[in-house]
Each structure stands twice: as C-alpha cells, then as structure tokens.
C-alpha cells in the first residue's frame, strides 16, 4: 500500500448534473470528467480508494421497478438489491473510466470494484425514521400526482432544491469485505468500495442477511478510511466549498475550519440534513478517529484542493 493513499468519496448527486442530464450515458460522461481529476492525483504518486453515492440512481431503479409492477405485474426489486445493482453499474463506470484515463496518460496501475456489504444493527432507529433522500427532485406541482401514485412514499424537502423520497438509513458498523480491500490495496490496485454506503446486512445464526435500507456513503467512507489508516479523505460533491447560511442572501463560503468550529456550525443549524450535514458529520468522525484532514469540494477542484488549497478543508 502506498504511503500517499487518499480516500475519495464521489457524491451521487454530482454525477447527475441536471434534470436534463439524468440518463445512464449522461452519468457515465460525468464520471469520465470526474475521474480525469482523480487520475491527476495518481499521476502525482497517489493511490486512491474510491466510494460513490447512489441516491439518485437508487431512486430511479426503485421507481422503474414500481412502474413495471404496476404496468405488467413484474416483481419488485428489494432495496438492498437495488444498492447492489448501483454498486455494480456505477463501479463499472468508475473503474473503466479510470483505467482508460491511466492508459491514456501512460500510467501503470489498474482499478477494480469490490461489491461491498456493511454490517448494521437490525434494531437501528434509522429503520423506524426514514431520512435518507433518494431519487430525483420533485417540485410542488408534481406532489399530488406522486402521492397518488406512490402512497407509501415518505417525501421531504431537500435543502431547498425540491422534494425527494426518503428511505431508512442505519449506521454502518463494520465493512465485511475489508480484508479483501486491504489485500487489493497492498497489491497496488486502486479500489472502488462501499459504493452507495454498501449493502446493509445483519448477522444471523444462518450467516449474513440483507436489509432494505441505504447507508449514508459518507459515513461508510469515513469508517473504512479510518480502518485503512488513510490520512486524507476527500468528499466530492456538487459545490466547490461548504457554505454557512446556504441559499440565503448572507451565504458565506468556508475555506478552512476546525472540528470545534464545524461542531458549532452544526449546532447553529447551518447544514441541511440529508445533504451537507452527513458530510460534515462523517468528516468529524474521521478526524476524531485519527484522520488528518478532510477536503469537501466539487470534482473539478479535486487536484487544486489537494495541491493548492481549493475547496473546504476540515482539520482536527
């Protein structure tokens, strides 16, 4: 394993650029653009461990499944299997894009994807209080139709960007495939793991069993990054910097903050649940667990964030 191992958590929303760019092909194009900046770090001697979000993609698959059931009677896809589907499809796009980029640059190395399970507590309160946004954004005019067609959905306002469905989101406890990931890193591979936070599983007397939920990928990323002894965690999202009073006239971006300052901003309510708040919470867990630094920024600023101080840097 290289000394310059960095963990990069790519946000699911940063792969969906707009309502007009939501297809699988659009996403693959966005991933290629993001991965170019990741390859820039590898060119400078870094080894990367990559995770990715899957909120929009999970929502698309679930809605597609529900439409197919309504129109044809086809069986529904369990949520835990949807998470596995997105791990495979997004992981494929990331590893292919990175391997192509490395080949173009003449850089040795290869990226592989590990379909990852993450242990959770079956009695986690997250199962009783769904709060993880998935799928596309809906505006006020669409709400009546959505609630009529999908009466079992729970919808919430997501950071002023519209309404989204929310699903259970338990706490990650242990990454099941951690030894495999560590072995691959020690062999020099770049690895995609805990995609979408990993498939939530519980331990039973018959072995592991999947649970229908979506683990927050930033919390799972901070857990795995800490276990791997990573010093730098990069959380890639849709904005260049974290902001106080986001979306308000007195919005103020932050270049650097300490753990204590971040905790104060959380208490003051500056970060939206289901959006920036879990990213800040994951950052604090990582730093309190021995991590050295977290950078939160948009994909196109990754190299400049590491080399030139762009983005928002959170330090102990």
- At 1 the pLDDT is 45
Check 4, 13, 17, 33 and give the catalytic one.
13
Check 12, 55, 59, 91 and give the catalytic one.
12
The predicted-structure confidence for 137-187, as pLDDT tens digits, reads as follows 788 888 888 888 778 778 888 767 788 888 889 999 999 999 999 999 999
- At 291 the pLDDT is 94
Domain of residue 166, residue span: 5-315
- At 13 the pLDDT is 65
Name the average pLDDT for the chain: 91
Average pLDDT over residues 220-244: 93
User: CATH number for the domain including 47?
Assistant: 3.40.1160.10
pLDDT confidence tier of residue 274, bands split at 50, 70 and 90: low
Residue with the larger pLDDT of the pair 273 and 30: 30
The predicted-structure confidence for 37-77, as pLDDT tens digits, reads as follows 999 999 999 999 999 998 888 888 988 988 898 899 898 89
Backbone conformation region of residue 243, classed left if phi is above 0, alpha if psi is from -120 to 50, else beta: beta
Annotation says 132 is catalytic: yes
A 10 A CB-CB count for 282 gives 25
Average pLDDT over residues 85-101: 97
A 10 A CB-CB count for 69 gives 13
In the predicted structure, residue 204 carries a pLDDT above the cut 70: yes
The predicted-structure confidence for 96-131, as pLDDT tens digits, reads as follows 999 999 999 999 999 999 999 999 999 999 998 888
- Token code pair at residue 127: 């199962």
Check 53, 54, 126, 132 and give the catalytic one.
132
- At 3 the pLDDT is 58
Check 55, 59, 217, 303 and give the catalytic one.
217
Annotation says 248 is catalytic: no
DSSP 8-state class, residue 301: G
- At 14 the pLDDT is 65
Q: Measuring CA to CA, which residue among 75, 57, 58 is closest to residue 66?
A: 75
Check 198, 274, 279, 310 and give the catalytic one.
279
Annotation says 13 is catalytic: yes
Query: Number of structural domains, the chain?
Result: 1
Q: For the ranges 30-44, 77-91, 147-161, 198-212, which has the lowest average pLDDT? A: 147-161
In the predicted structure, residue 24 carries a pLDDT above the cut 90: no
Annotation says 308 is catalytic: no
In the predicted structure, residue 221 carries a pLDDT above the cut 50: yes
DSSP 183-230: HHHHTT-EEE-SGGG-EEEEEETTEEEE-S----HHHHHHHHHHHTT-
Query: What pTM did the predictor assign?
Result: 0.88
Annotation says 19 is catalytic: no
| Nearest-angstrom CA–CA distance, 175 and 297 | 25
- Token code pair at residue 118: 């993450």
* Residue ranges in the chain assigned as alpha helix (H): 24-43, 55-72, 79-105, 140-149, 178-186, 217-227, 259-267, 277-288, 302-308
């Amino acid at each position: 394993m290289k000394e310059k191992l960095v963990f990069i958590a790519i946000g699911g929303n940063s792969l969906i650029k707009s309502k007009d760019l939501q297809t699988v092909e659009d996403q693959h194009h966005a991933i290629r653009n993001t991965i170019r900046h990741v390859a820039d770090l590898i060119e400078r001697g870094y080894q990367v461990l990559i995770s990715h979000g899957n909120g929009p993609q999970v929502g698309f698959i679930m809605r597609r499944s529900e439409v197919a059931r309504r129109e044809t009677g086809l069986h529904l896809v369990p949520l835990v299997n949807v998470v596995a589907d997105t791990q495979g499809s997004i992981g494929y796009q990331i590893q292919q894009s990175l391997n192509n980029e490395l080949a173009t640059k003449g850089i040795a190395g290869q990226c592989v994807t590990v379909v990852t399970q993450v242990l959770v507590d079956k009695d986690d309160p997250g199962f009783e209080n769904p709060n993880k946004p998935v799928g596309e954004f809906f505006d006020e005019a669409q709400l009546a139709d959505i609630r009529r067609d999908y009466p079992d959905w729970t919808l919430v306002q997501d950071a002023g960007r519209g309404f989204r469905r929310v699903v259970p989101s338990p706490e990650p406890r242990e990454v099941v495939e951690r030894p495999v990931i560590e072995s691959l890193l020690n062999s020099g591979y770049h690895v995609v793991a805990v995609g979408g936070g990993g498939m939530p599983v519980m331990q039973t007397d018959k072995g592991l069993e999947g649970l229908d939920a979506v683990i927050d990928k930033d919390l799972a990323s901070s857990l795995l990054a800490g276990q791997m002894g990573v010093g730098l965690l990069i959380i890639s999202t849709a904005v260049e910097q974290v902001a106080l009073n986001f979306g308000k006239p007195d919005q103020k971006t932050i270049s650097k903050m300490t753990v204590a300052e971040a905790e104060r901003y959380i208490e003051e309510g500056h970060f939206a649940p289901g959006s920036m708040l879990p990213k800040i919470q994951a950052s604090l867990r990582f730093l309190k667990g021995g991590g050295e630094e977290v950078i939160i920024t948009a994909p196109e600023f990754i190299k400049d964030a590491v080399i030139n101080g762009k983005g928002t840097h959170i330090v102990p």
